[in-house]
Chain A
Amino acid sequence: MLKVKLRLCCALARIPPTDARFSSQWIKVSTSTTPENVNVEKLFVEKDVQKLLTDLTEIDLENKVFRPRRTSIQQRSHFALMTDERLEKTRERMREEARRFLQFVPVKEPRQESVQVLAKDAELQDFDTSKFVFTDITFDATDQDRTVVVREPDGTLRTANPEEHDRMNRTYYQKPNRPVNPPPLFSDPYLQNALDKDEHEFVLDWACWFYEPDDPSYIRLSQFIFDRINESSKFNVITSTRHFGPFAFYLALNDNIPRLLNYFGGLGRLADCANLVRLQKTVRPDWRVTIAQGDSDEKIVKDFVKQNARFRDEISDLNTFLNTGKLKLEVEQEHHAVRERVAPRFGFDKRRTRITSANIRGADGPLGELSEMYSVKVVKSEGSGEGAEGAEKKGGEGRGKGRWNRRNQKKSDDDKKE
């Protein structure tokens, strides 16, 4: 009798408060009005949800899916001469290929950590100070159904828990980039550093290669990264990757879409906005606000904006687009132009050229202090009225370091423009 009571107490104590309230690990406590007992896995594989997620994931061939990455083998570049028709066909085939690369990572609940006690041999107690793990390494056992058992020092023989199981898989069946212990990249401060460098995709790719999708640590890690992306509104690091589907699904499930909606609105992608709203209303059905059959994209988005007035500050770009039809980029350029127009009142006129024939040879010219070392020769060419510089700029720091650095370089160019 006493034993039974004790066991019950233990069972109650083990359940954390979050689990008692929400059945799913993918729904956060902070959001209220969440439907309880929602089956996240089932919801994720529903046909219309999958279709919406696939539509939301754009396919960017050159900058995302087939972006240059460091591989383990050296490859040559291939060049081919083709007609327009042929080029279009090839692009279409590449797009097909890319669709396979965009297969979503399964959204799973954390797995059961239960173990099964096979035997208790009291005579084996204290046979050693450490556990013994026995692994079945026969040829036809797969990673999922491989038998792994553990002999505890107290003589208990039990099946391995999933963590030990995976670790034995990694030990006996090694794959490249899958070390036995999780790499330090998956924990702070290295995770933080990688995310600061916008390597979200790399971290997520590696995490889904290293962990099983139902591993609690994978779920925790991916949710952490998703939250970081949403907080900092850096959606372009994850669009057109295989993680965008789970990301959008996670946001919709937690009623947290306004920032992503704002991102799409700023780019003027109204269809994506409408799809996102549709996704949210499919995932969290609410009889008070439903979408009628024949609603257009614009009406869906406008209705959503009206219904969620509390998000007004977060969706300013979307509102600008809906009201004036201007994209975020255009608005920023206008601001820039206005600032330039206003500037002359306070200081010098930016529009006037400051390099003239008088100062081009001096320290005020384009060479700066180098003008003492180099003589500047001004040559008038046919196309441009201005002179050409005599000295060349020295190429950046070190070797070019390959094509994958082009991404960062572009970004710095963009910064310069801004």
Chain B
Amino acid sequence: MLATGGTVARRLIHSSYRLACEGKTKEVPTPEEAGYAYNHVDRKKGMYKPQHSIAEQISYMKSKSYADAYKGLPIYRWYKRNIKGQSKLQPPPRLFCIDKHGRFNLNHACPVCRDEYLYFDYRNPSLLEQFLADGTDQPIDILKSGLCREQYTLLRAQLLKAKEHGTITFGVEFRNFDYRLYYKDWTAEPGKPVERAGIRLQDIHPDPLVHFPTFKNDKNNDWDEWWIRHDKFARKAK
């Protein structure tokens, strides 16, 4: 069954409504008291996903059961899509794992849908950070992450939200000011504009030893010399 735009929107509204309702979070018991556990039910089709608050999620991600389940690796590293052949040639990701009624519509749900405590939220940056490409503020490829399209959309939305709320920081573009625009009696020229991550080591440290000469094609050289000399050795051969 394909989800129409309306149902996707309804689901998004539903999930954001759930997030909005959790403004007043109750006192969350410690992970040991609450008895968090990884949900080992292997056939989830037709079952409902339990709903948990963000405080419970954060507490779960610090608990021992989480560490035991994922062993300190990002959660998508433990997930393998059930595909035949090369990963390059895999079919497009599925649209959603949980249907509009909140039930799993398949058994092998994506890494975020399958864990009952996990969903993307800007207040829990540690989950979002697992899906960021190393050294950047951009999410990894959807096929690499193994997420369904719905979760991937939520990931991007919550990532943007996390940046705007300051839970995930990044290198803001550097703004070069031309002081002459701001002060009347400033006459000095602004220096060369700079940008973050704009410096390359080749510019700072040009390698002095390795010198590659430019390719010289046979232009403007007197290769006709060969024919001039040809007479000599051609006659000699005779």
Contact = CB atoms under 8 A, between A and B. Distances in A.
Interface stretch (B86-94, B95-103, B184-192): B184-192
B135 A75 contact: yes
Interface stretch (A115-123, A200-208, A301-309, A380-388): A200-208
B138 A72 contact: yes
Contact of A74 (B74, B135, B163, B176): B135
Given A100-B191, A184-B164, A72 B137 contact: yes
B228 interface: no
A82 interface: yes
Interface stretch (B6-14, B19-27, B194-202, B230-238): B194-202
A41 interface: yes
Contacts of B215: none
A403 B135 contact: yes
B166 A202 contact: yes
Interface residues of B, number: 47
A255 interface: no
A415 interface: no
Interface in B174-189: 174-177, 179, 181-183, 185-186
Contact of A183 (B62, B137, B164): B164
A144 interface: yes
Contacts of B133: 74
Contacts of A108: 182
A179 B192 CA distance: 27
Interface-centre pick from B172, B182, B201, B204 (highest chain A CB count, 10 A): B172
B169 A199 contact: yes
B157 interface: no
Interface in A180-213: 183-185, 190-191, 193-194, 199, 202-203, 205-206, 208-209, 213
Nearest to A97: B199
Tier of interface size on chain A:
35 or more
B72 A80 contact: no
A303 B143 CA distance: 68
B contact face: mostly helix, strand, loop, or mixed: loop
Given A101-B194, A208-B175, A70 B136 contact: yes
Interface stretch (A8-16, A125-133, A228-236, A392-400): A392-400
B171 interface: yes
Contacts of B166: 185, 190-191, 193-194, 199, 202-203
B129 interface: yes
A205 B168 CA distance: 14
Given A70-B132, A78-B201, A401-B129, A209 B72 contact: no
Contacts of A179: 164
B205 A144 contact: no
A94 B204 contact: yes
B158 interface: no
A73 B197 contact: yes
A24 B180 CA distance: 21
Interface of A: 41-42, 44-45, 68-75, 78, 80, 82, 86, 90, 93-94, 97, 100-101, 103, 105-106, 108, 144, 175-177, 179, 183-185, 190-191, 193-194, 199, 202-203, 205-206, 208-209, 213-214, 394-399, 401-404
